[in-house]
Structures are given as C-alpha cells and as structure tokens.
Amino acid sequence: MTSISGPAHTGGIRFRLHSKFLLGVVVLECLIMITTIFVVEKQMRDSILAEFLKRGHSISRNLAALNTNYIATFNYVSIEQVVAKVTEENDLEYALVQLFDGDVAAFSGNDTYKKTQIIGTETDTKALVATEEIVQYLHFGNTPEKVCDIATPVYIKDKKWATVRIGMSLKYIKKAIHKTRITLLTLGVIVLFASCMLSVILARRISKPVSALVKSVEAITGGDYDCNIEVHSNDEIGFLGNRFSFMQKTLKENIELLKDSNAELMLHNQRLQGLFKASQAINSLQDYQYPYQLIIDSALEATTAQAGFLTLIGEDERLMTVARKSRDADDHILDIATKVIVEKQNVILGNPFQSYRRIYSCNFSFEPLQEDLKYCTIGMDFLPDYELISVPLRQSYEIKGFINLIRRKMSGKLSESERQIISVLTSHAAIALDNKKLFLELDQAYFSSIRSLAKSLELKDEYTYGHSERVARICVDIGRKMSLDEKKLRVLQNAALLHDIGKIGVLESILNKTGKLDENEFHSIRKHPDFGDEILKPTASLREERAIVRHHHEREDGRGYPDGLSGDQLSLSEKIIIVADAFDAMNSRRPYREPLKPEAIRRELLKNKGTQFDSDVVHAALEIFEKLINEKDQEDMSTNVVPLRIYRT
C-alpha cells in the first residue's frame, strides 16, 4: 500500500523554538540588566553627590565654627592659619572668609584659582547676601572641571558677621561615578553571561521534548508510524508527549484498518467490475459463440483462485470438462483436481445439499451459496496446500454443471464478497448455457430445413443432382491443398452445400431451359446469390457462410455479380468456391450441353486465370484435377457424389 503523508511545511522550520526562547530570554535579561544598571548608577551618583555635599557642608561649618571667635576679635592671623590648615587637610580648591562688608579676612587656595576670579562675581554677591548655606557650581575658564562652592554664614548674637566659602572640585565625584559605572558594567556582564548560560540550559531542557515531538510528527507525516516518541518529563510537555504517543498508536491502528478496508473495497470493486464485464460479455455473446472459457475466466477474476475449470453434465449424466485455465498454479495440480471431480462426481451429483462427507483421501464440505443451494469445498490429502471449491450451475432447479476453483488452502469457505459475486455469476452462466442449448437446437433445425430445401431443389433437376456435394468435396480438397485450417474448411464446406439455395427464388422454367437465356431470364438467374444471402440471414451462426454464398459468382477482375468484387476484396474461401463451382459446372451435364473433356476444362481454367479465377487457386485445382484424371475416368468424375456432412463452428 502506498504510505499516507501530510502536507509538507513549505519553508521548513526557519526559527526553532529553542532559538526563540533563548533569544527572548537574552533580550529580556539585557533589558533588565540595562535598566538595573541605569537605576543603580543614578542612585549611586546621587549618593556620591550627597556624600560629597555632606562632606562639604561639614568642612564649611567646621571652618565657620573655628573662626567665629577670631572673627569677633578681628584676629586675622589666626583666621588665615585656620583657613590654610583646613584647605590643606581637606584638599580643597580654595577656602576664604569674607567679612559682612565684603572684605576678605583670609584666603587659601592652589595656584589654579586666583582670588580675583572668586571675589566680586555674581556668585560672590549671592554668597554675601545669603542668610543660610548655599551651594553653587562654578566654572573657571582655565580649568576643565567645575567647582562646587559652598557658602556658610557666620552669626554672632544673631547677626551675620561674615561668610565662609570653600571650593571643592567635582573631578573626584566624576572619578567615583566612573569607577562605580565600571564596577556595575563588569558585574552586569558577569551576571548576563551567567544568565545566558542558565537560559541555554533551561531552553534546551524545555525545547528538547518539543524537538522530539517535532521529529516524531515529521516521521509520521512521512509515513513512519512505528517511530518512538521519547519525552521524559513530568510537566505539561510530558503529558502532551504521552497523549501524542497514544494518538500515534491509535492513528496507526486506524490507518491499518483503513488500508485493510480500502484493499477489501478495491478487491470487491474489482470483482464487481469483473462480474459486470463478464455479464456484459455473456449477454453480448453471439448465438454462434460458446461462453465456456468466458465463464471460467470471470470466475477466476472474481476470486483469489489460482486455477479453475468448467464441467458440464452430459447427456450420459457424467461430468465433462469443457474449459480450463491456470493463472499461477502448476498444470499438474489442475489435472489432479479435474480428475478428482470426475472420479468423485457421484458425491457431488448424488446429494449437493449434504453438509460433510469423507471419501478416501478427500473431505467434502458443503456451504450455503443461495437459497436451497450449496457449494462444495474439497480438501485433498495428497494436495494439502490447496483446496478445491466446486460451485453448481443451476437453472430451473436443475444442475447443469459446476465451476471448479483451485486456490491456496484458506478457511474452506468463500468470503462473503466472493460468495455473492460467484452466486450472481453462476446464475448468469446457467442462463447463458440454457440459451446456448436452445439456440443450437433451433439453429440446427433451421439449418436442416434449409439443407432439405436445397436438396429438394436439386432433386427437381437431373442435371444438377449432387452438384452441391461435389462442389463441397472439391472446395475441401482445394482448401486442404492451400493450408486452410479446420474451422475455415468447415465453413467453406457448409457454404458449398448451400451455395445454390437462392435458386429457390428462380422459376423452374428458367433453371431447366435447354435453349439460350434471354436478357430478362439471365437477369433473373443472376439474382440467386442475393436470394441465398437473404435465406441464410436469420441464421446467425452461418454469417461467414452467407458471405461465401453471396460471392460464389464474383470474378477476379471484378466483372462478376452481385457486388462486382475483385482481387483482395475476395477472401480465399470465396476464390476457392468460384473455381470449384465453375469446375463442376464444366465437368457436369447441362440441359444445353454435355460435360467438357478434361483438356477443355484445363484450357478454360488456364485461359481465365487472373481474370475470372485466382491464379493460385487454379494451380491448386489443376493439381487435384490431374490426380483425379489418373484415378478415375471422366464418367466416374462426373457422377462423383459426396455423402452429406454438416460441420458446426
């Protein structure tokens, strides 16, 4: 059987589930990691800045506290010492103390920043007027980095006496933030790599059973229903795999069932087609054809038998084999089975409705075929691998014969499909045999009637008495000489016996006239081939003879009658009867002349060779003629009467 395959995926699997899952997880991890880094980096940056400002405020307040007493006493030396010390210890860019009127009491800073760049600016003004701590970010043209300027007012008895300002470079913050970013990125890469590896392992673990299912689906799609689905997991995919495996087994069983059903349906359909063709063939058989071989051919077509033969009950109530065929069994098995049927016919013919019987080395078992009719299964000990099934042909409650089938030993019974088809076939076959028998009887009766008419016609004319028999004898001799087969010889002989039957339609006065025929009389006698054709037309079995009868007055050159055929238009049998009829006419007495001498007959045949007669037929006829001259004299030849012989096709 052909394998069943599903539609193929036009593009295959372009992007596997494993890759999709892994890509999705990696992208998600990257997004999460980037978001986390940004959030953490911002928080760290804010934290560093807050710590930076906290330190700045602490330094500025401490510096203000240390200088409060010195400011109150205007001890500028101590103020400068404290400012310088704080600037150096805390790595400040600069530090200064401004009095309430704007004068600078003390200033300390590195060489990068000049007092003039700090004092007298807008930032300075804001610091002087501020009543609380303020933070400002300054950018000096000679430095790339901004400076964080923190101003803290100094109050003595609730009155602002001075302002303390410190400058802290932001480069330290940037370094700390950069270091933090590097640390976060390093940790992020490590975490991302670890996550990716874990994702790969997890993706493989999840997609492996799915891949197994995909491979199994592809295998099943390709027709491999025996593939194993290996999914070992306790989750939903494992459950799906187990259910799919169950579906696969169920599908395989259903497909096998469908294959068996399809094979059985195809076999049944084939048998029905064979039965239909057989019925058509049997019904279309011409009356002259025999249905024997067709019946056994149809029986073999409708069953699983290796060989078969048809046996009919003869007039002596004994079985005779009329057709046989071997498909793939040995001929000697067919011979043995035929012998079994003939030797054990008393069992089958004696009681075809019995159930079981054993005789010698054969077991006879009878099973129902139709209502009140059984077929016989014969088990043969000497052929243990075969069984013989004999099915009766019954018509009008009378057994006509048996269809006998030889097959490999099975259940000893016909299948329901075989039984139904064989039952119909046997009914058709029995009817066909009955019709054939009736036709033969009718055809023989009609043939005998026509032959009697032809004989009575010759009896009225002493000159043509025995003419048909002599022409038939000559035709057969020439036909054998020219290697015609037996069937064609029988057809030729029958045609010769009836070739002048059409003269029944011609007046006796014309047939027996001693003088020369006038034109009307000659036209009338030329019609007898047409009359003969019409007389034989109702007899279907004489269709080949009809053509010979109609054309026995044609000529090789086409100048004959009634159809004016010539050369290859005439069959060999028709050419033979043309010569034979003319030969006997020349060799017989007629009302208007005596028989011709042998030399005159020979001259006439040779003279008209190629015009009236076929050359090959003339040569064959002359060889026979020479032989007859040597065996008999002219008088013996002219009275040579051949006994009536009727052959059937």
- Write out pLDDT tens, residues 393-423: 877 777 778 888 888 877 667 777 777 777 7
Domain with CATH 3.30.450.20 in the chain: 21-176
Domain with CATH 1.10.3210.10 in the chain: 460-638
Contact by Cβ (8 Å): 365, 374: no
Query: Smallest Cα–Cα separation from 474: which of 349, 582, 379?
Result: 582
Class of domain 460-638: mainly alpha
Mean of the per-residue pLDDT values of the chain = 78
573 pLDDT above the threshold of 70 = yes
* DSSP-assigned letters across all residues of 423-459: HHHHHHHHHHHHHHHHHHHHHHHHHHHHHHHHHHHHH
247 pLDDT above the threshold of 70 = yes
What is d(CA 233, CA 251) in angstroms, rounded to the nearest whole number?
A: 23
What pLDDT does residue 346 have?
A: 60
Cα dihedral 410, 414, 417, 420 in deg (nearest 10): 170
562 pLDDT above the threshold of 90 = yes
Query: Smallest Cα–Cα separation from 278: which of 434, 422, 438?
Result: 422
Residue identified by tokens 């057989």 is 278
Residue identified by tokens 């059987």 is 1
φ, ψ of residue 358 to 5 degrees: the values are -120, 125
Sequence-distant (≥ 6) Cβ neighbours of residue 377 within 8 angstroms: 364, 365, 366, 367, 387, 388, 389, 390, 412, 413
> Region 2-21: what's the mean pLDDT?
56
What pLDDT does residue 220 have?
A: 74
% of the chain with per-residue pLDDT over 90: 18
Other C-beta atoms closer than 10 Å to the C-beta of 437 total 12
| CA angle (127 as vertex; 122, 131 as ends), nearest 5 | 140
Query: Smallest Cα–Cα separation from 432: which of 393, 376, 402, 405?
Result: 393
Q: Are β-strands 307-313 and 398-408 bridged in parallel, bridged antiparallel, or unpaired?
A: antiparallel
- Looking at residue 145, what DSSP letter applies? S
Other C-beta atoms closer than 10 Å to the C-beta of 448 total 11
Q: What is the pTM of this model?
A: 0.44
Give 297-308 pLDDT, tens digit per residue: 877 777 778 888
* More confident call, 299 vs 58: 58
What is d(CA 495, CA 581) in angstroms, rounded to the nearest whole number?
A: 12
- Measured over the CA atoms of residue 331, residue 332, residue 337 and residue 343, the dihedral's sign is positive
Q: CA separation (Å) from 556 to 322, 444, 565, 566? A: 42, 34, 8, 5
Contact by Cβ (8 Å): 123, 149: yes
* More confident call, 280 vs 123: 123
What pLDDT does residue 459 have?
A: 62
635 pLDDT above the threshold of 80 = no
Coil, strand, or helix at residue 88?
helix
Q: Could you tell me the pLDDT band of residue 151, with boundaries at 50, 70 and 90?
A: very high
What pLDDT does residue 552 have?
A: 93
What is d(CA 165, CA 163) in angstroms, rounded to the nearest whole number?
A: 6
Q: Which CATH superfamily is domain 288-439 in?
A: GAF domain (3.30.450.40)
Give 470-488 pLDDT, tens digit per residue: 899 999 999 999 999 988 9
For the CA atoms of the chain, what is the radius of gyration? 64
CB neighbour class for 152 (10 Å; exposed up to 12, middle 13-18, buried from 19): buried
What is d(CA 4, CA 221) in angstroms, rounded to the nearest whole number?
A: 8
Q: Out of 434-438, 499-503, 537-541, give the one with best mean pLDDT.
A: 499-503
For residue 470 the two structure tokens come to: 């002599």
Mark residue 575 as left, alpha or beta (left: phi above 0; alpha: psi -120 to 50; beta: remaining): alpha
> Region 317-322: what's the mean pLDDT?
80
Q: 406 forms bridges with which residues in the sheet?
A: 307, 388
What is d(CA 383, CA 150) in angstroms, rounded to the nearest whole number?
A: 124
* DSSP-assigned letters across all residues of 537-588: TT-GGGHHHHHHHHTTT--TTS--SSS---GGGS-HHHHHHHHHHHHHHHTS
Contact by Cβ (8 Å): 588, 604: no
21-176 is a CATH 3.30.390.30 domain = no
Q: Long-range contacts: 408-417, Cβ < 8 Å, 24+?
A: 408/304, 408/306, 409/379, 409/384, 409/385, 410/304, 412/365, 412/367, 412/377, 412/379, 412/387, 413/367, 413/377, 414/303, 414/367, 414/375, 414/389, 417/264, 417/267, 417/268, 417/271
What ranges in 285-362 are assigned the alpha helix state H?
A: 292-302, 331-343, 345-350
CB neighbour class for 316 (10 Å; exposed up to 12, middle 13-18, buried from 19): exposed
Q: Are β-strands 146-156 and 356-359 bridged in parallel, bridged antiparallel, or unpaired?
A: unpaired
Domain with CATH 3.30.450.40 in the chain: 288-439
